[in-house]
Structures are given as C-alpha cells and as structure tokens.
Amino acid sequence: MKIEIAEATSLKGKVTISGSKNATLAIMACSILTDELLILNNVPNISDVQMLAKLLREVGIDVVYLEKKHKMYLRKKKLKIRLQASDVKQIRASYYIMGALVAMRKNFKTCYPGGCDFAKRPIDYHLEAFRKTGYKIIEKNNFLFFKKQRGHSQNQNFYLARKSVGATINIIYISVLKNTSTIIKNPSLEPEVMQVITLLNQMKAKITILDQDTIEIKGVKKLLGTIFDIMSDRIEAGSYMLLACAAHQSEVRIENIYLPHLREVIQTIKELGVSIKEGKNYLELKKTFPLKGIEKEIAHYPFFPTDLQQILTVVCTQAITTSILSDEVYPNRLSHLLEIQKANGKVKSFKKKIYIEPSNLFATTLYAHDLRCGFACIVIGAVAKGITTIENAEVILRGYEELTNKLQKLGIRIKMK
Ligand code: EPZ
C-alpha cells in the first residue's frame, strides 16, 4: 500500500486521540488469566489489535469487537491452543500470549514474535523468566516448544538487567496466579505497565509498587472479570503534536489526551519554540515562528519516549539551528535517517548520537521501515516541497487509527493508493 501526501503550507484543525495501542495489546492478553468476561472500552481499531484478537481466538478466547463503539468483549471458553506461526510473527505483542499461557501452566507450540524490527529486539528476558518459573523451552525448526516442568512452591525474585516493558508485564502475568510471592527488581514503570497493574488489581490481583525499583506480586487463586477503560495513546498524541511543530504554520487542537503522560513531550515542544495552551484533556499548539534546535536525551518514562524519537528527528530538520538526540533505549533506532536523507535532510548518527542540521526537505519516494518511521515519513511529506510517496504504508495503520481521516481534518492532502 502507498500513501501520497502533499506539502501542507499550514495546519489548522482538531484531532481526537484514540486508546493506547501498547496498553490495549497487553491488557487483551489478560483475558487468558480469567474465566470471566473482560469488557474493554476505548479500544483503538488498528491492525495490531485486530491481529492480537485473531491470536486470542487461536487459543480459545471468544473476542467480540464493536469497532464503531471501540468496545471489546473477551471471554475464555476453553483453552484450545492452535497458534498460527504466520500470525504470531506479525506482531511483537504476541509474546504476551506466551506469558499468559505459561501463567495457566499450559504446554504449547509457538514461535518468535515479529513486529517493528528497527533494531535487534531479543526476548531473552522473557524466556529466562519462563524457564525460571518451571518451563522447558525447546527451539526447533524456528518453533518454540513450551513444556511445563515442576511447579514452584517458593517465593521468587526476578531482576531485569534493562528496564523492559514486555518482560515486566510477562513476569507479572506468570506471577499473578501463583500461591507464592514474587519480586521484580528494576521493572519498567511506563504508563502502559501501570495500566496493566491497575487492571489486574481491579481483577483482584495483589500487585504493589514498593518503590521505583521494585514491584511485589502476591499470587491469588482466581482473577475476576471486569470492565476497563483503556487510557489515551500518549504516542499517537505526541505524533500529532510533533507534526504540528514541523509544519510551516499551525494552529492545532489535540483532544482526548492525558496530560501527565505528556509532560516531557510538552517541555520539548516548548524548547523547540512552539506555544502550547493546556486544557483539562486537550492541548492547543500554535506555531508561527521558526523552530530552535534542541539537545534531547531519549530514555525510559518520564523522559522523552523512544517511540517519538524518529518523528522528533524530522521535526528538528525544520529548526534554524543544529539539534542532537540520543536514544538510550534503542541507540540503533535509526531506520528513518535514510528516508530523511533521501528527502535532502542533513542528518547523521555518530557514536550513539543523531546530529540534525537545518534542512529544506523535498518530495521523493520514501519507505516506511516500521510503524514510527512511517509516521516520520508522513511528517516529511507534510513539510517537503511537492508530493511525497510513502511505500509500505500499511505498517503505519498498525498503530494509528483513522490515519487519513485525522490528517485530513488538520488540512493535510493525503491519498491511500
Ligand atoms: C515496548 O516494546 C513497546 N511495544 C515499544 O513500542 C516501545 O518502543 C518499547 O516498549 C520501549 O518503550 C509494545 O508495547 C508492543 P522493551 P518492548 O522490552 O516491550 C531490551 C511501538 O512503536 N530487551 O521495553 O518489546 C530491548 O532490546 C513499539 O509502539 C532485551 O534486551 O521493548 C531494548 O533495548 C516499538 N531483552 C530494551 O530492553 C528482552 O527480552 C527495552 O525494550 C527484552 C528487551
């Protein structure tokens, strides 16, 4: 699929933000952990969510998704595990199915997850945790065979060498239904992880954040069904906020957001020289003056998020002075640099830093290597002189609901081909 996007001399309009992709994907897997009905509100209609729903059906979960209402009903009938490798490979979040099935002490066959391959993204922390909780995992012909061994009767501690969203959530899943206690040291406490903890505690789990470095899980016998509202997607919100910063002129209102999750993004936008008016659950951005270059360290929450680094790189090409970015989470998250250079952008990486010079971008054909690189290409198209074509555009639909509709409401001329 291709997108054609014309230069936007000025952006004016309103965009309403959808539910969080990364919170939704983790939370959907919780349906495996209970026999009762799980009802989710504000579920974004994006292809990653549709794919995870397919995977859940492949293990025996009844999933009904009312797309127009953004409402999803999930209920475990009887676990019958028939995971299709071709589906597992579509998304990274398929590793949550592994964690939930290990929690239910099932034997099953699966394969490595797929998803955005902007850098080497191992799942060694996950597999190590599964083995530590009493599983033998055999890798053969690109499949992973999970075989349960002895159960565990003593309390367990897990230490994560790096803060990992997925591994933290999976260790919570494999601990929440035990008859022992578990400690996780150096967990990720990103907002998406906090939402999973909130949901599970609402399902009568016993999960406590002891301090910034420690999560304690006291296992319970059973989790109850519940109704839960997915939080607003802070990465989608930040993507549109940064698009407004890049455009030559803009007056944009971003609605249905949760401001505390966007503190560092708001701060960064102010450093770029764009004025922001904060409302209760909305923001108004007004860009009239040229951007100033910035130096920014990208790191785990509450720092500037890695998922917006690629888009921020494009924004910085529109500044009148040099910028320097360093992504501490994924130092090799650089797939977008080639695309920016194709459009005459003066960007380069050196010793884990990205250097960005003021650049006049021009239209060309770009390739969306991964989800956030894809949105970065959209920002290039919005500021580059001429009509930009973006190939492999379907990857952008993995994480941005109603993409063309939302962009058109800001005055961007865009066509899906
Ligand atoms: C989640 O990925 C998100 N994906 C990513 O968003 C996000 O970029 C990332 O967290 C960081 O915030 C989903 O939630 C589906 P990690 P995840 O485990 O959990 C290393 C998007 O655009 N690591 O937090 O897979 C890893 O290499 C996507 O929406 C290991 O070494 O990321 C990285 O350097 C892209 N071994 C660091 O930890 C492991 O077993 C953080 O990765 C796991 C991780």
The catalytic position among 30, 111, 116, 377 is 116
Q: What is the pLDDT of residues 230-243, one digit of tens each?
A: 999 999 999 999 99
Q: Which residues contact 396 (CB under 8 A, 6 or more apart)?
A: 3, 368, 371, 374, 375, 378, 390, 403
**Ligand 1 atom index nearest CA of 305:** 12
- Say which CATH architecture domain 21-229 belongs to: Alpha-beta prism (3.65)
All residue ranges of the chain with pLDDT < 50 are: none
Q: Which one, of 201, 213, 196, lies nearest residue 99 by Cα?
A: 196
pLDDT for the residue numbered 116: 84
**Could you tell me the distance, in angstroms and rounded to a whole number, from the CA of residue 122 to the centre of ligand 1?**
9
pLDDT for the residue numbered 174: 97
pLDDT for the residue numbered 152: 66
The protein residue whose alpha carbon is closest to atom 10 in ligand 1 is: 165
**Could you tell me the distance, in angstroms and rounded to a whole number, from the CA of residue 301 to the centre of ligand 1?**
13
**Ligand 1 atom index nearest CA of 119:** 27
The protein residue whose alpha carbon is closest to atom 43 in ligand 1 is: 123
Find the residues whose C-beta lies inside 6 A of ligand 1: 21-22, 25, 92-93, 116, 121-126, 162, 164-167, 188, 190, 306-307, 329-330, 371-372, 399
Q: What is the DSSP secondary structure assignment for residue 232, as one 8-state letter? A: B
Between the alpha carbon of residue 30 and those of residues 37, 95, 228, 347, the distances in Å are 11, 13, 12, 42
Q: Are strands 414-416 and 3-6 parallel, antiparallel or unpaired?
A: antiparallel
C-alpha atoms less than 13 angstroms from C-alpha of 404 in its C-beta half-sphere: 12
Ligand 1 pocket test, pick from 127, 188, 192, 329 with the greatest ligand atom count within 8 Å of Cβ, gives 329
Ligand 1 pocket test, pick from 18, 95, 121 with the greatest ligand atom count within 8 Å of Cβ, gives 121
CATH fold of 2-17+233-416, please?
UDP-n-acetylglucosamine1-carboxyvinyl-transferase; Chain (3.65.10)
The protein residue whose alpha carbon is closest to atom 42 in ligand 1 is: 164
**Could you tell me the distance, in angstroms and rounded to a whole number, from the CA of residue 198 to the centre of ligand 1?**
20
Residues of the chain with CATH 3.65.10.10: 2-17+233-416, 21-229
**Could you tell me the distance, in angstroms and rounded to a whole number, from the CA of residue 104 to the centre of ligand 1?**
24
> Catalytic annotation on 116?
yes
Cα–Cα distance, 322 to 307 (Å, whole number): 21
